[in-house]
């Protein structure tokens, strides 16, 4: 394994536990079945989750196809969102009070048809962790625009998404 790709972010205990859970196939399937049932049915999977990057996949099946013989854009959007959201979920673990987050903007392009399994890769983990740190330190909302790219096995880029996430630490209970 190449250590030069490791991020400088040191995960806390809650973050390490969350990562382990998301990388466990049974736990991930339970998560998607209960929290994102359409993602479960469409075959969305977690391939990699690190502090600096995440990879998710979406197969090409009859459940997520469109009349143009490719993966429906909304099915791609689910897997693309997960590749950024998983890093967001990882980044907010272990803080008290907790940190809330939500998508405030989405931009997407689809340069080619997705006619096979697509892997979505987000490498903006450092930016996401920095936005969470800023939200906690300032008590104000912080946003980050995270990019994810969808590629088929042969390297063909089929979609690019930009999800803008907003983070804000919840108020302390009195």
Give the pLDDT band of residue 172 (cuts 50, 70, 90): confident
Number of domains in the chain: 1
The two counts, helices (H) then strands (E), for the chain are: 5, 6
Question: What SS3 state is found at 163?
Answer: strand
Please give the average per-residue pLDDT across 37-64, as a whole number.
Answer: 96
Mean per-residue pLDDT over the chain, rounded: 94
Residue 108: burial class (beta carbons within 10 Å; 0-12, 13-18, 19+): middle
Q: What is the pTM of this model?
A: 0.92
| Residue 12: how many other CB atoms lie within 10 Å | 12
Name the residue among 162, 159, 132 with its Cα closest to residue 147.
162
The reply to whether 105 falls in a domain is: yes
The reply to whether 131 falls in a domain is: yes
pLDDT for residue 1: 39
Give yes or no for residue 7 having a pLDDT over 90.
Answer: no
pLDDT for residue 174: 57
Instruction: Provide the residue range defining the domain that includes 109.
Output: 10-169
* Residue 82 structure tokens: 């997960």
Give yes or no for residue 4 having a pLDDT over 90.
Answer: no
The reply to whether 21 falls in a domain is: yes
The CA-atom distances, in angstroms, between 42 and each of 63, 77, 148 are 6, 12, 19
d(CA 142, CA 130): 9
């Amino acid at each position: 394994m190449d250590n030069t790709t490791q991020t400088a972010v040191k995960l806390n205990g809650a973050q390490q536990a969350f990562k382990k859970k998301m990388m466990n196939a049974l736990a991930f399937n339970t998560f998607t079945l209960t929290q994102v049932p359409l993602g479960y049915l469409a075959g969305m999977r977690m391939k990699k989750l690190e502090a600096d990057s995440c990879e998710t996949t979406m197969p090409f099946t009859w459940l997520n196809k469109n009349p143009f013989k490719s993966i429906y854009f909304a099915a791609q959007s689910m897997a693309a969102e997960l590749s950024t959201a998983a890093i967001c979920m990882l980044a907010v673990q272990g803080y008290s009070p907790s940190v809330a987050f939500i998508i405030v903007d989405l931009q997407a392009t689809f340069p080619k048809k997705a006619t096979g399994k697509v892997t979505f890769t987000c490498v903006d983990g450092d930016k996401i962790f920095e936005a969470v740190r800023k939200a906690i330190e300032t008590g104000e909302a912080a946003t980050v625009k995270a990019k994810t790219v969808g590629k088929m096995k042969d390297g063909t880029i089929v979609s690019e998404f930009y999800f803008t996430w907003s983070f804000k630490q919840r108020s302390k209970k009195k």
